Amino acid sequence: MIEKKSRSLLPLTLLIAAALSACSGRGAGNAVPEEGAPNPAADDGKEKLEISLLAPTFKGGGWPDNNHPTIQYLDKKFNIDLKVQWTPGSGYEEKLNVMAASGELPDLFIGYEDTFLKWQSQGVFVDLAPYLKDYPKLASEFPEDMMSILNPPGKIYGFPKYSEPYQASLIVREDWLNNLGLPKPDASKFTVDEFYRIAKAFAKDDPDGDGKADTVGFTLGAAVQDAGFDGGETLEAAFGLANGWKEADGKLVPRQTQSEEWKAYLGFLANAYKEGVLDRDFATNTGDIVKEKAGGGKLGITAQNFTLINRTNKQAQAIDPKAHFVPVAPPIGPSGLRGNAGQTVGDTKIVLNADISEQKRQRVLKLLDWWITEEGSNVMKDSVEGIMYETTSDGTVTLTERGKKEADSLAILNNWFFRSSSLKHDIHQWDDPKLTDEFIAFQNELAKYPWTNPGAPYVVYSPTYIKDAADLNTKFMATAMNIIVGREPVEDIDRAISEWRAGGGDDIIQEVNDAYAKRK
Amino acid sequence: MATTLSKRSTTLTPSASDLPERRRPPLASLKRMTPFYLMILPGLLFFLLFKYVPMLGVVIAFQNYNPFQGFQGSEWVGLQHFRELFQERDFLVLLRNTLWLNLLDLLLFFPIPIVLAVMLGELRSRRMSALIQTVMYAPHFLSWVVIVGVTFVLFSAQSGGVNQLLQAAGLPRLEVLTDPAAFRWVWLLQNIWQGSGWSAILFLAALASINPTLYEASRIDGAGRLRQIWHISLPGLKQLIVILFILRLGHFMDLGFEHILLLQNPLNMSTSDVFDTFVYRKGIVRGDFSYTTAVGLFKSLVGLLLVVMSNKLAARSGQEGVI
């Protein structure tokens, strides 16, 4: 009975962590260590340094150990012992919090927006501004606004993790459309009604022709932290919801207060759920489950980025050789609105732990400075020549047997941790050169239908947002999801809205607008 | 009853012969006992290091703890976090859910291993008994991730195996994974499936220690099986049941954290959100260490209170307690 379950060890873990860190606490006095002026000469590269790095993982996971050819290459080139720790992306901040509590933060890690903001005043990160003059590549690689976002004036506490402002496109199984005799959506006339007709046909008319009702029309992931659904972005835009925040009369308005738009959107989804067009498992979906369903040939409509589409097609073709997802324009809503979700870029930062020595700082900066050069980028995304790929005498590059086996995991440090702003950062040397043009065309197509979030740079300045937003949104979305599955009437969203406002939402609106007025 | 009493007095007699030893000189007894103290030492150190020293960490419940400034540097805020907790919008929801799950566990789970053990004890075939016992405690070695994963494979609303069968038969789907009303029962049934066989082992061991002559005597007196269970087996287990019950009450506010977290989704939050998952969300995910330590401390105090109270009650009703 006593040992029946592992009784909650959390408070205890916290206490142990706290007790340990008491010994390693920095004391208030030296919160911002100043160890003389930055000087590249502090590191002559002769001493072997151990550098720890915490990287997030997504589908496929990290490298099994620190003997990966890429890491060995870096170890040799920079005379370091690089220790990469991998942790699932969804639990990254959780991991950081635990490491912080036990005083064991890695040398190099990612600061996501609110952690980055919260910890910079604690002196956790190295101020990189004085170092930039010695590392011109790092200083000039990223656009000015990406560098400065979330940094106080004159300071640079981290380098942005570069990403394109538009990433995911709505994609549809073209072969399923053909099987059912449906035309491919025409961008100028593609409405949510047509979206619904296609989804319904995918769910009901056996698009894969196996005689079994085992396909779903479309699905959503429960990304409740943002008060929206993963994969539902284009629908949300069509129904007039803000991408987080929208500007009206010089004020920022959050999507949580858009009662009419929510009712229209939730009414649409509730109907889709009732008719079996929306995946009934949506409430328990995670992002990876949605990707599996698409790759596993069960799902005909979803949203993915350029790299993932190619990978999903390959996965789906293993089951059905004709399988082919093609990008389509976002659907047009009842009032003519449409859009692809634009992301705030630059709010994810690569940071250096302020506890590391001047020598180590210089070494890490050398590594990062090299990482974004063309030479460095090629290693970080393609790994090492002779092991993973070979160049033949006529100059063509091909994957080796090992490279083919590990093709999907070669670029993970580059994809998940840090990368250059080059348009080719996702294109490998062995890829068809046309792929770069396709990628540019894909990005241009997405950018035609902008749905931006003018509030994104300001939310982190709201203490109430940092403290309560996740909880408030969880509750808000619980009501929204109960409406979709038919347990509550659509009108109940008004109750959720007033609860959201009373529970802290009004404070968030006020604080975000204050920050907006001050900084815009 | 008379038989159990006489059994008890026989177990008490040896302690009387210990008495003269207490009169030895203290130094000599220390020397004699040294090996024993040495044997205790590792366990003692374990408890000191991992149970008592970390308790000092509760001071952060009274601070605005900041890991970068440590204990000394963090600001003292007194009872602010406790006030915040009792004013928390969700405090009553969390309390209600925590109490509900614990009551279910206590009333419906706790007796099952006892019943199982008694039933196994009545089996005539030893081999059969051993086989059933093994099969029943095997699930204990499965992690919650696996158990919840299998439940999802079977009961997902759209792709779950059971639901596909139901749909093929034209029956309505079971939405047990997202229905707030179903959550508690799913949780309880999984607990029973996973833990009851394992928990029965203790009771089986206690049953085995009951003097078989008691059963023989009762058979001669003409007692049937049910009478034997009622008058011999259960009284023999009474002491163990009381102790385990008191210990269980000490964990009254604790629930299997990862199990609940795995089953939790936005649709069943209204019944599945408990103090443990709240602490996880606020403390580990959001990094609010002080507040969550205050929640943990509150939980522990409730547990301590319940142990002391139930121990008193047990003592009053003539049973030995744990303290």
pLDDT band at A180 (very low <50, low <70, confident <90, very high): very high
Contact criterion met (CB below 8 Å) for B193 and B204: no
What does pTM read for this prediction? 0.78
Q: Which of B68, B158, B198 sits opposite A216 (nearest CB)?
A: B158
Answer with the residue of higher pLDDT: A370 or A35. Answer: A370
Architecture of domain A169-341+453-519: 3-Layer(aba) Sandwich (3.40)
Long-range contacts of A40-46 (CB under 8 A, 24+ apart): A40/A134, A40/A362, A42/A358, A42/A359, A42/A361, A42/A362, A43/A358, A43/A359, A43/A360, A43/A362, A43/A363, A43/A366, A45/A78, A45/A79, A45/A363, A45/A366, A46/A79
* pLDDT, mean of residues B155-169: 87
pLDDT at residue B243 above 60?
A: yes
Chain A closest-CA separation from residue B87 CA (Å):
12
- Asked, colleague to colleague, whether A35-163+346-426 and A169-341+453-519 share their fold, the answer is yes
Determine the pLDDT at residue B286: 77
| Structure token digits, residue A272 | 């889709």
Residue A283: list chain B partners with CB under 8 A: 178, 265-267
Asked if A474 lies within 8 A of B289 by C-beta distance, the reply is: no
Q: Look at residues B136, B137, B118 and name the one whose alpha carbon lies nearest to residue B236.
A: B118
- At the top level of CATH, which class does the domain B75-316 belong to? mainly alpha
Considering only CB atoms, B267 lies closest to which of A3, A94, A481, namely A481
Q: Give residue-wise pLDDT tens across range B70-118.
A: 778 788 888 888 998 888 888 899 999 998 999 999 899 999 999 999 9
Chain-chain contact of B178 with A222 (C-beta, under 8 angstroms): no
pLDDT at residue A223, as a whole number: 65
Q: Does the pLDDT value for residue A427 go beyond 90?
A: no
In chain B, which residues have their Cβ closer than 8 Å to the Cβ of A475?
Answer: 269
Architecture of domain A35-163+346-426: 3-Layer(aba) Sandwich (3.40)
Report which DSSP code applies to B274.
-
- The predicted-structure confidence for B125-138, as pLDDT tens digits, reads as follows 888 888 998 898 89
User: What value does the mean pLDDT of chain B take?
Assistant: 84
Q: Are strands A299-304 and A216-218 parallel, antiparallel or unpaired?
A: parallel
Judge: A475–B269 Cβ closer than 8 Å, yes or no: yes
Instruction: For residue B54, give how far its alpha carbon lies from the nearest alpha carbon of chain A (Å).
Output: 5
Interchain CB distance below 8 Å, B69 and A119: no
Element (H, E) at A380: helix A374-382
N- to C-terminal Cα separation, chain A: 60
Q: What is the mean pLDDT of chain A?
A: 87
Separation of first and last alpha carbons in chain B? 26
Task: Kindly report which listed range (B2-6, B16-20, B246-250) carries the lowest average pLDDT score.
Answer: B2-6
Q: With contact defined as beta carbons under 8 Å apart, do B106 and B318 qualify?
A: no
Q: How confident is the model at residue A226 (pLDDT cuts 50, 70, 90)?
A: confident
Q: Contact A21/B297, CB-based, under 8 Å?
A: no
Above pLDDT 90, what percent of chain A? Answer: 57
Which region among A219-233, A362-376, A483-497 has the lowest average model confidence (pLDDT)? A219-233
Q: Domain extents for chain B?
A: 75-316
Instruction: Report whether A463 contacts A243 (CB < 8 A).
Output: no
Chain A residues lying within 8 Å of B297, measured CB to CB:
11
The answer to which of A20-34, A61-75, B100-114, B216-230 has the lowest mean pLDDT is: A20-34
| Strand spans (E) along A95-140 | 108-111
ipTM entry: 0.74
**Domain edges within chain A:** 35-163+346-426, 169-341+453-519
The bridge status of strand A169-173 relative to strand A299-304 is antiparallel
Model confidence over B184-221: pLDDT tens digits? 999 999 999 999 999 998 898 898 888 889 988 988 98
The predicted structure's pLDDT at residue A83: 94
